[in-house]
Amino acid sequence: MTANLKKAELHCHLEGAVPPALTLSQARKYNVDTDAFLRDGTYVWHDFTSFLAAYDAVAALFRSEDDYALLTETYLDELAAAGAIYSELFVSPDHAETVGLGADRYMAGIGRGIEAARARTGIECRMVVVGLRHRGPERVEWAARYAASCGNPFVTGFNMAGEERVGAVADYARAFAIARDAGLSITVHAGELCGASSVRDALDILRPARIGHGVRAIEDAELVARLAGDGIVLEVCPGSNIALGVFADLTAPPLRRLHAAGVKVTLNSDDPPFFGTSLQREYETASRVMGFTDAELNEMTRTAIEAAFVDERTRADLL
Ligand code: ADE
Ligand code: ZN
Protein backbone atom coordinates (compact mmCIF):
# COMPACT_ATOMS: atom_id res chain seq x y z
CA MET A 1 0.00 0.00 0.00
CA THR A 2 1.54 3.27 -1.13
CA ALA A 3 -1.33 5.54 -0.04
CA ASN A 4 0.43 6.42 3.20
CA LEU A 5 3.80 7.26 1.65
CA LYS A 6 4.95 10.86 1.46
CA LYS A 7 5.16 11.96 -2.17
CA ALA A 8 6.54 14.80 -4.27
CA GLU A 9 5.91 15.64 -7.90
CA LEU A 10 8.25 17.54 -10.21
CA HIS A 11 6.46 17.09 -13.54
CA CYS A 12 2.81 17.97 -14.03
CA HIS A 13 1.35 20.35 -16.61
CA LEU A 14 -1.36 22.48 -15.02
CA GLU A 15 -3.57 22.49 -18.11
CA GLY A 16 -3.01 18.73 -18.37
CA ALA A 17 -4.36 18.20 -14.86
CA VAL A 18 -7.95 19.34 -15.38
CA PRO A 19 -10.41 16.73 -14.08
CA PRO A 20 -13.08 15.98 -16.71
CA ALA A 21 -15.79 17.20 -14.30
CA LEU A 22 -14.10 20.60 -14.09
CA THR A 23 -13.79 20.73 -17.89
CA LEU A 24 -17.52 20.12 -18.11
CA SER A 25 -18.39 22.85 -15.63
CA GLN A 26 -16.07 25.31 -17.41
CA ALA A 27 -17.65 24.37 -20.75
CA ARG A 28 -21.10 25.09 -19.30
CA LYS A 29 -19.84 28.42 -17.95
CA TYR A 30 -18.59 29.51 -21.39
CA ASN A 31 -21.19 27.65 -23.43
CA VAL A 32 -18.66 25.49 -25.30
CA ASP A 33 -19.38 22.10 -26.89
CA THR A 34 -16.88 19.50 -25.60
CA ASP A 35 -17.87 16.54 -27.81
CA ALA A 36 -14.73 16.77 -29.93
CA PHE A 37 -12.38 16.20 -26.98
CA LEU A 38 -14.38 14.77 -24.04
CA ARG A 39 -16.77 11.83 -24.24
CA ASP A 40 -18.31 9.78 -21.40
CA GLY A 41 -16.03 11.45 -18.89
CA THR A 42 -12.86 10.59 -20.83
CA TYR A 43 -10.62 12.83 -22.90
CA VAL A 44 -10.59 11.82 -26.56
CA TRP A 45 -7.30 11.65 -28.46
CA HIS A 46 -5.30 8.94 -30.26
CA ASP A 47 -1.73 10.18 -30.73
CA PHE A 48 0.53 12.98 -29.52
CA THR A 49 -0.82 15.49 -32.06
CA SER A 50 -4.47 14.85 -31.15
CA PHE A 51 -3.50 14.81 -27.46
CA LEU A 52 -2.07 18.33 -27.85
CA ALA A 53 -5.27 19.43 -29.64
CA ALA A 54 -7.46 18.10 -26.80
CA TYR A 55 -5.11 19.66 -24.25
CA ASP A 56 -5.33 23.06 -26.00
CA ALA A 57 -9.15 22.79 -26.19
CA VAL A 58 -9.32 22.16 -22.43
CA ALA A 59 -6.89 25.02 -21.73
CA ALA A 60 -9.12 27.36 -23.75
CA LEU A 61 -11.90 26.85 -21.16
CA PHE A 62 -9.87 28.72 -18.54
CA ARG A 63 -10.27 32.41 -19.21
CA SER A 64 -10.04 34.33 -15.94
CA GLU A 65 -7.85 34.63 -12.87
CA ASP A 66 -10.58 32.88 -10.86
CA ASP A 67 -10.68 29.97 -13.34
CA TYR A 68 -6.96 29.41 -12.87
CA ALA A 69 -7.14 29.79 -9.10
CA LEU A 70 -9.88 27.14 -9.03
CA LEU A 71 -7.94 24.73 -11.28
CA THR A 72 -4.73 25.11 -9.26
CA GLU A 73 -6.46 24.66 -5.94
CA THR A 74 -8.42 21.66 -7.22
CA TYR A 75 -5.27 19.89 -8.41
CA LEU A 76 -3.17 20.67 -5.34
CA ASP A 77 -5.92 19.67 -2.89
CA GLU A 78 -6.22 16.29 -4.58
CA LEU A 79 -2.45 15.85 -4.66
CA ALA A 80 -2.13 16.70 -0.98
CA ALA A 81 -4.90 14.21 -0.17
CA ALA A 82 -2.75 11.55 -1.90
CA GLY A 83 0.16 12.32 0.43
CA ALA A 84 2.08 14.87 -1.62
CA ILE A 85 4.04 17.49 0.29
CA TYR A 86 5.51 19.22 -2.77
CA SER A 87 4.42 19.95 -6.33
CA GLU A 88 6.13 21.68 -9.21
CA LEU A 89 3.56 22.84 -11.75
CA PHE A 90 4.42 23.49 -15.38
CA VAL A 91 2.57 26.62 -16.46
CA SER A 92 2.33 28.03 -19.98
CA PRO A 93 1.64 31.77 -20.23
CA ASP A 94 1.06 31.09 -23.94
CA HIS A 95 -2.35 29.65 -23.01
CA ALA A 96 -3.27 32.87 -21.22
CA GLU A 97 -2.32 34.90 -24.26
CA THR A 98 -4.42 32.63 -26.51
CA VAL A 99 -7.61 33.34 -24.53
CA GLY A 100 -6.83 37.03 -24.03
CA LEU A 101 -6.32 36.71 -20.29
CA GLY A 102 -2.72 37.92 -20.30
CA ALA A 103 0.23 36.31 -18.58
CA ASP A 104 0.18 38.44 -15.42
CA ARG A 105 -3.44 37.64 -14.52
CA TYR A 106 -2.85 33.98 -15.39
CA MET A 107 0.09 33.83 -12.99
CA ALA A 108 -1.79 35.77 -10.32
CA GLY A 109 -4.68 33.30 -10.46
CA ILE A 110 -2.34 30.31 -10.18
CA GLY A 111 -0.51 32.00 -7.30
CA ARG A 112 -3.81 32.46 -5.46
CA GLY A 113 -4.61 28.78 -5.95
CA ILE A 114 -1.19 27.79 -4.60
CA GLU A 115 -1.65 29.96 -1.51
CA ALA A 116 -5.16 28.65 -0.83
CA ALA A 117 -4.09 25.01 -1.15
CA ARG A 118 -1.04 25.58 1.04
CA ALA A 119 -3.16 27.26 3.72
CA ARG A 120 -5.57 24.34 3.79
CA THR A 121 -3.27 21.34 3.32
CA GLY A 122 0.33 22.51 3.86
CA ILE A 123 1.39 21.44 0.35
CA GLU A 124 4.31 23.48 -0.99
CA CYS A 125 4.29 24.38 -4.68
CA ARG A 126 6.46 26.19 -7.23
CA MET A 127 5.85 27.14 -10.85
CA VAL A 128 8.10 26.25 -13.76
CA VAL A 129 7.33 28.40 -16.80
CA VAL A 130 7.13 26.35 -19.98
CA GLY A 131 7.85 27.44 -23.53
CA LEU A 132 6.01 25.44 -26.19
CA ARG A 133 8.49 24.02 -28.67
CA HIS A 134 6.03 23.64 -31.55
CA ARG A 135 5.29 27.36 -31.41
CA GLY A 136 8.91 28.06 -32.43
CA PRO A 137 12.08 29.58 -30.93
CA GLU A 138 10.76 33.15 -30.80
CA ARG A 139 7.74 32.13 -28.77
CA VAL A 140 9.89 30.05 -26.41
CA GLU A 141 12.19 33.06 -25.97
CA TRP A 142 9.12 35.16 -25.18
CA ALA A 143 8.18 32.68 -22.44
CA ALA A 144 11.74 32.76 -21.09
CA ARG A 145 11.78 36.56 -21.02
CA TYR A 146 8.43 36.53 -19.27
CA ALA A 147 9.65 34.02 -16.68
CA ALA A 148 12.83 36.06 -16.17
CA SER A 149 11.03 39.35 -15.59
CA CYS A 150 7.62 38.51 -14.06
CA GLY A 151 8.83 38.78 -10.47
CA ASN A 152 6.38 36.12 -9.28
CA PRO A 153 7.96 34.51 -6.18
CA PHE A 154 6.54 31.08 -7.05
CA VAL A 155 8.40 30.99 -10.39
CA THR A 156 11.70 29.18 -9.88
CA GLY A 157 12.34 27.35 -13.13
CA PHE A 158 12.09 27.24 -16.90
CA ASN A 159 11.24 24.31 -19.17
CA MET A 160 10.34 23.53 -22.75
CA ALA A 161 7.54 21.08 -23.60
CA GLY A 162 5.42 20.35 -26.63
CA GLU A 163 6.26 18.59 -29.87
CA GLU A 164 9.81 17.30 -29.45
CA ARG A 165 10.07 16.44 -33.15
CA VAL A 166 9.92 20.13 -34.15
CA GLY A 167 13.22 21.95 -34.70
CA ALA A 168 16.65 21.27 -33.20
CA VAL A 169 17.57 21.78 -29.55
CA ALA A 170 20.14 24.38 -30.59
CA ASP A 171 17.32 26.57 -31.98
CA TYR A 172 16.15 27.06 -28.42
CA ALA A 173 19.52 27.71 -26.74
CA ARG A 174 18.94 31.46 -26.48
CA ALA A 175 15.67 31.01 -24.57
CA PHE A 176 17.41 28.83 -21.99
CA ALA A 177 20.29 31.30 -21.69
CA ILE A 178 17.79 34.08 -20.90
CA ALA A 179 16.19 31.93 -18.18
CA ARG A 180 19.51 30.79 -16.71
CA ASP A 181 20.93 34.32 -16.64
CA ALA A 182 17.86 35.37 -14.64
CA GLY A 183 18.69 32.74 -12.01
CA LEU A 184 15.98 30.25 -12.97
CA SER A 185 16.66 26.52 -12.68
CA ILE A 186 16.45 24.49 -15.86
CA THR A 187 14.63 21.34 -16.92
CA VAL A 188 13.58 20.30 -20.41
CA HIS A 189 11.46 17.64 -22.10
CA ALA A 190 13.70 15.22 -24.02
CA GLY A 191 13.96 11.51 -24.70
CA GLU A 192 10.20 10.99 -24.81
CA LEU A 193 9.07 11.16 -28.44
CA CYS A 194 12.67 11.25 -29.68
CA GLY A 195 15.53 8.92 -28.83
CA ALA A 196 18.79 9.08 -26.88
CA SER A 197 20.35 11.73 -29.12
CA SER A 198 17.69 14.24 -28.01
CA VAL A 199 18.77 13.71 -24.39
CA ARG A 200 22.43 14.10 -25.34
CA ASP A 201 21.70 17.32 -27.27
CA ALA A 202 19.70 18.69 -24.35
CA LEU A 203 22.57 17.97 -21.94
CA ASP A 204 25.26 19.39 -24.25
CA ILE A 205 23.41 22.52 -25.32
CA LEU A 206 20.98 23.44 -22.53
CA ARG A 207 22.84 22.08 -19.46
CA PRO A 208 19.68 21.25 -17.45
CA ALA A 209 19.67 20.04 -13.84
CA ARG A 210 16.83 17.69 -14.72
CA ILE A 211 15.28 16.11 -17.81
CA GLY A 212 11.54 15.67 -18.34
CA HIS A 213 11.10 11.98 -19.22
CA GLY A 214 14.63 11.21 -20.53
CA VAL A 215 13.68 7.54 -20.47
CA ARG A 216 14.81 6.85 -24.03
CA ALA A 217 18.36 7.45 -22.81
CA ILE A 218 18.12 3.71 -22.12
CA GLU A 219 18.87 3.20 -25.84
CA ASP A 220 22.48 4.31 -25.19
CA ALA A 221 24.50 2.74 -22.33
CA GLU A 222 27.15 5.46 -22.42
CA LEU A 223 24.47 8.12 -22.02
CA VAL A 224 22.92 6.28 -19.07
CA ALA A 225 26.37 6.25 -17.42
CA ARG A 226 26.71 9.98 -18.11
CA LEU A 227 23.31 10.74 -16.51
CA ALA A 228 24.29 8.72 -13.44
CA GLY A 229 27.76 10.26 -13.23
CA ASP A 230 26.52 13.83 -13.61
CA GLY A 231 23.64 13.35 -11.15
CA ILE A 232 21.02 14.46 -13.70
CA VAL A 233 17.54 13.84 -12.30
CA LEU A 234 14.94 12.26 -14.58
CA GLU A 235 11.28 13.21 -14.18
CA VAL A 236 9.90 9.82 -15.18
CA CYS A 237 6.20 9.52 -16.09
CA PRO A 238 5.47 5.82 -16.73
CA GLY A 239 1.68 6.14 -17.18
CA SER A 240 2.18 8.93 -19.70
CA ASN A 241 4.71 6.83 -21.61
CA ILE A 242 2.24 3.95 -21.92
CA ALA A 243 -0.69 6.19 -22.90
CA LEU A 244 1.36 7.92 -25.60
CA GLY A 245 2.78 4.63 -26.90
CA VAL A 246 6.40 5.41 -26.01
CA PHE A 247 6.50 1.95 -24.40
CA ALA A 248 4.15 -0.99 -24.91
CA ASP A 249 3.14 -1.80 -21.33
CA LEU A 250 3.97 -1.04 -17.73
CA THR A 251 6.68 -3.66 -17.56
CA ALA A 252 8.52 -1.87 -20.35
CA PRO A 253 9.35 1.64 -19.02
CA PRO A 254 13.00 1.44 -18.02
CA LEU A 255 12.56 2.90 -14.53
CA ARG A 256 14.09 -0.21 -12.93
CA ARG A 257 17.04 -0.32 -15.28
CA LEU A 258 17.76 3.40 -14.93
CA HIS A 259 17.48 3.15 -11.14
CA ALA A 260 19.76 0.10 -11.09
CA ALA A 261 22.30 1.98 -13.23
CA GLY A 262 22.47 4.70 -10.56
CA VAL A 263 20.43 7.34 -12.42
CA LYS A 264 18.43 9.61 -10.11
CA VAL A 265 14.77 8.97 -10.92
CA THR A 266 11.49 10.46 -9.70
CA LEU A 267 7.83 9.51 -10.27
CA ASN A 268 5.42 11.91 -11.95
CA SER A 269 1.97 12.03 -13.55
CA ASP A 270 2.56 14.50 -16.48
CA ASP A 271 -1.08 15.11 -17.59
CA PRO A 272 -2.92 12.78 -15.19
CA PRO A 273 -6.56 12.66 -16.39
CA PHE A 274 -5.51 12.60 -20.05
CA PHE A 275 -3.37 9.54 -19.37
CA GLY A 276 -5.68 7.75 -16.90
CA THR A 277 -3.25 8.26 -14.08
CA SER A 278 -2.47 10.21 -10.90
CA LEU A 279 0.61 10.57 -8.73
CA GLN A 280 -0.89 8.02 -6.33
CA ARG A 281 -1.39 5.57 -9.20
CA GLU A 282 2.22 6.06 -10.36
CA TYR A 283 3.54 5.15 -6.90
CA GLU A 284 1.14 2.19 -6.74
CA THR A 285 2.20 0.89 -10.16
CA ALA A 286 5.88 1.31 -9.32
CA SER A 287 5.24 -0.79 -6.24
CA ARG A 288 2.96 -3.51 -7.60
CA VAL A 289 4.08 -3.86 -11.21
CA MET A 290 7.72 -2.79 -11.08
CA GLY A 291 8.45 -4.20 -7.63
CA PHE A 292 9.88 -1.10 -5.97
CA THR A 293 9.92 -1.36 -2.16
CA ASP A 294 8.52 1.36 0.09
CA ALA A 295 12.11 2.26 0.99
CA GLU A 296 12.95 2.72 -2.70
CA LEU A 297 9.81 4.81 -3.26
CA ASN A 298 10.70 6.96 -0.25
CA GLU A 299 14.15 7.42 -1.79
CA MET A 300 12.50 8.65 -5.03
CA THR A 301 10.46 11.19 -3.06
CA ARG A 302 13.67 12.32 -1.35
CA THR A 303 15.40 12.58 -4.74
CA ALA A 304 12.53 14.79 -5.96
CA ILE A 305 12.83 17.11 -2.98
CA GLU A 306 16.61 17.25 -3.34
CA ALA A 307 16.10 18.22 -7.01
CA ALA A 308 13.19 20.61 -6.40
CA PHE A 309 13.60 24.17 -7.59
CA VAL A 310 13.32 25.67 -4.10
CA ASP A 311 15.61 27.63 -1.79
CA GLU A 312 17.68 25.62 0.67
CA ARG A 313 15.56 26.56 3.66
CA THR A 314 12.38 25.26 2.03
CA ARG A 315 14.24 22.11 0.97
CA ALA A 316 15.39 21.50 4.53
CA ASP A 317 11.81 21.94 5.78
CA LEU A 318 10.54 19.43 3.21
CA LEU A 319 13.22 16.79 3.87
N1 ADE B 1 2.86 18.89 -22.86
C2 ADE B 1 1.98 18.29 -22.07
N3 ADE B 1 2.29 16.99 -21.93
C4 ADE B 1 3.41 16.78 -22.65
C5 ADE B 1 4.23 15.66 -22.90
N6 ADE B 1 3.97 14.45 -22.38
N7 ADE B 1 5.29 15.81 -23.71
C8 ADE B 1 5.56 17.01 -24.25
N9 ADE B 1 4.83 18.09 -24.04
C10 ADE B 1 3.76 17.98 -23.24
ZN1 ZN C 1 5.48 16.74 -19.63
Catalytic residues: 192
pLDDT at 115 over 90: yes
Task: Work out whether the CA dihedral 11, 15, 19, 22 comes out positive or negative.
Answer: positive
User: Which residues have beta carbons under 5 A from ligand 2 (an ion)?
Assistant: 270
Task: Count the domains in the chain.
Answer: 1
Share of the chain above pLDDT 90, in %: 97
Verify whether ligand 1 is closer than 6 Å to residue 235 (CB atom): no
The CB of 15 under 6 Å from ligand 1? The reply is no
| pLDDT at residue 1, rounded to an integer | 81
Q: What is the structure's pLDDT at 145? A: 98
pLDDT at position 293: 97
CA 289 / ligand 2 centre spacing (Å): 22
Structural domain of residue 234, as residue ranges?
7-16+55-318
What distances in angstroms separate CA 161 from CA 33, 90, 119, 213, one per listed residue? Answer: 27, 9, 30, 11
Phi, psi of 178 (to 5 degrees): -60, -45
CB of 271 closer than 6 A to ligand 1?
A: yes
Q: How confident is the model over 186-207, as pLDDT tens digits? A: 999 999 999 999 999 999 999 9
Residue 248 has pLDDT above 90, yes or no: no
Q: Is residue 298 part of a domain?
A: yes
Percentage of the chain modeled with pLDDT above 70: 99
In a domain, residue 307? The reply is yes
Phi-psi region of 291 (alpha: psi -120 to 50; beta: other; left: phi over 0): left
Residue 219 lies in a domain: yes
Residue 242 falls within a domain, yes or no? yes
209 and 304 Cβ atoms separated by less than 8 Å: no
Q: How many CB atoms lie within 10 A of CB 13?
A: 23
In ligand 1, the atom with minimum distance to the C-alpha of 192 is 7
pLDDT for residue 81: 98
Q: How many Å lie between the centroid of ligand 1 and the Cα of residue 91? A: 12
Report if residue 23 sits inside a domain.
Answer: no
Check pocket membership of 189 for ligand 1, CB cut-off 6 A. Answer: yes
Q: Report which residue type is found at 280.
A: Q
Average pLDDT of 88-112?
97
Q: Residue 167 burial by CB count (10 A; 0-12/13-18/19+): exposed, middle or buried? A: middle
In a domain, 38, yes or no: no
Alpha carbon of 7 to ligand 2 centroid (Å): 18
Round the average pLDDT of the chain to a whole number and report it: 97
Nearest ligand to the C-alpha of residue 235? Answer: 2
pLDDT at 116 over 80: yes
- Nearest ligand to residue 92 Cα: 1
**pLDDT at 80 (0 to 100):** 98
pLDDT tens for each residue of 43-86: 999 999 999 999 999 999 999 999 999 999 999 999 999 999 99
Structure confidence by residue, pLDDT tens digits, 14-48: 999 999 999 999 999 999 999 999 999 999 999 99
Q: Is residue 30 part of a domain?
A: no
CATH, residue 254 = 3.20.20.140
Atom of ligand 1 nearest to the CA of 13: 2
Within-domain flag for 283:
yes
Classify strands 124-132 and 42-43 as parallel, antiparallel or unpaired.
unpaired
Confidence of residue 6 (pLDDT cuts 50, 70, 90): very high
Q: Is 267 in the pocket of ligand 1 (CB under 6 A)?
A: no
